[in-house]
Amino acid sequence: MKYLDALAPALLLAAASLPAQAQEWPNEELVLTVVVPYAAGGGTDSAVRPLIEELRNHLAVRIQISNIGGAGSAAGTNEVLNMPADGYAVLVSGTHTIAATMQGLTDGYRELDQIVALNWDPFIVAVLADSKIESMSDLIDAAQAAPGTICLGNAGMGGATGVASIAIDLAFDGIFNVTPFDGGQNLRTDVLGGRCDAGIFSQSEILTNPDDFRPLVILTEDRSLLDGLSDVPNLVEAGFDALDVPGGSFRSIAVRQGTPDAAREAIAAAFAAAYDSASYQSFMAEQGIISTFAKLEDAQAYFDDLVTGYEPIVRASGLYAQ
């Protein structure tokens, strides 16, 4: 007994020095960092911020949101990949992660595990409300009449809007001046300021300025679920049924591979509770966001299917890193 009594302080000190992943999760003294790989105010940030606020009610740790934009989401992704795999850093992942990884900007999904699949935010091609361009056909005609002069903006070449803009440009023999911006907020500002003719936006971004934009076409197979956007034609209705482009922005939550199962399961459960909350369900309905919730293995399987389907689109766009 005297030997054990003498050893106890050393055992306590050793336990205290164990890495976080070896201790019980969560540790209430630590902070969970949610990395949004885009600037604040953009489509991805706006779509997940209410979810993160609700998450505070379901996890016994402090939560901070860190917006790290750049390189089409790769900068924020790489930040998470450089953090410990202890469950205290999660990434708002999605189609932008797939695009950035395939372009060689990050190791991205190859070093991440999907914790929950969240939702889809449809893409809409839009111009200023007072633009002379009134349809997608008008936009194509204007670009064909003066190749390289019509700006088609996106939120960053590493993201899904970047892939979509390149795919549209290539389908019409490179007639656009495809211009990447650092996040949806900057894209929106330049289109509203008249410095870019058209942009590919998340539907939620259009909703923030409904009187300032003229939507031309929605890139999903179905029309928008929202009354104010339900009359926007899809590609087939607009006469471009052969155009194969990403239809929207899918979002998920991911952690570094090697994160302990206890942390993964606790994070998934907390996000599920936040996702099912009345406040977030109402938010998605108001924004016309399409729910695709899944957890852990099911979330990973869903993401893997997206990777498989995305590859030919990225290759066709000429962005795939060899």
Chain centre to alpha carbon of residue 114 = 13
Looking at the structure, do residues 105 and 127 belong to the same domain, yes or no?
no
Instruction: Tell whether 172 is covered by a domain.
Output: yes
How do beta strands 177-180 and 112-128 pair? unpaired
- Does residue 15 lie within any of the structural domains? no
Question: Which of 181, 198, 230 is CA-nearest to residue 132?
Answer: 198
Same domain for 137 and 115: no
Regarding beta strands 89-94 and 62-67, do their DSSP bridges make them parallel or antiparallel, or are they unpaired? unpaired
Give the CATH number for residue 265.
3.40.190.150
Query: Is 166 part of any domain?
Result: yes
Kindly give the pairing relationship between strand 62-67 and strand 177-180.
unpaired
What does 241-256 look like in DSSP terms, one character per residue?
Answer: TT-----EEEEEEEEE
Give me the percent of the chain exceeding a pLDDT of 90.
78
pLDDT at site 23:
59
State which amino acid sits at residue 133. Answer: I
Angle at 75 between CA 72 and CA 81, to 5 degrees: 125
Give pLDDT, residue 316.
84
Total structural domains in the chain? 2
CB 127 within 8 A of CB 191: yes
Are 97 and 160 found together in one domain? no
- Check pLDDT > 50 for residue 16: no
Note down the domain range covering 283: 30-121+248-317
- pLDDT confidence tier of residue 72, bands split at 50, 70 and 90: confident
Using CA of residue 8, residue 13, residue 15, residue 16, what is the dihedral sign? Answer: positive
Residue 125 has pLDDT above 60, yes or no: yes
CATH number of the structural domain spanning residue 166? 3.40.190.10
- Residue 100 placed within a domain: yes
What distance in Å separates the CA atoms of residue 23 and residue 8, rounded to the nearest whole number? 18
pLDDT in tens, 160-191: 899 999 999 999 999 999 999 988 888 999 99
Looking at the predicted structure, is the pLDDT value of residue 73 above 90? yes
| Residue 3 clears pLDDT 50, i.e. is over it | no
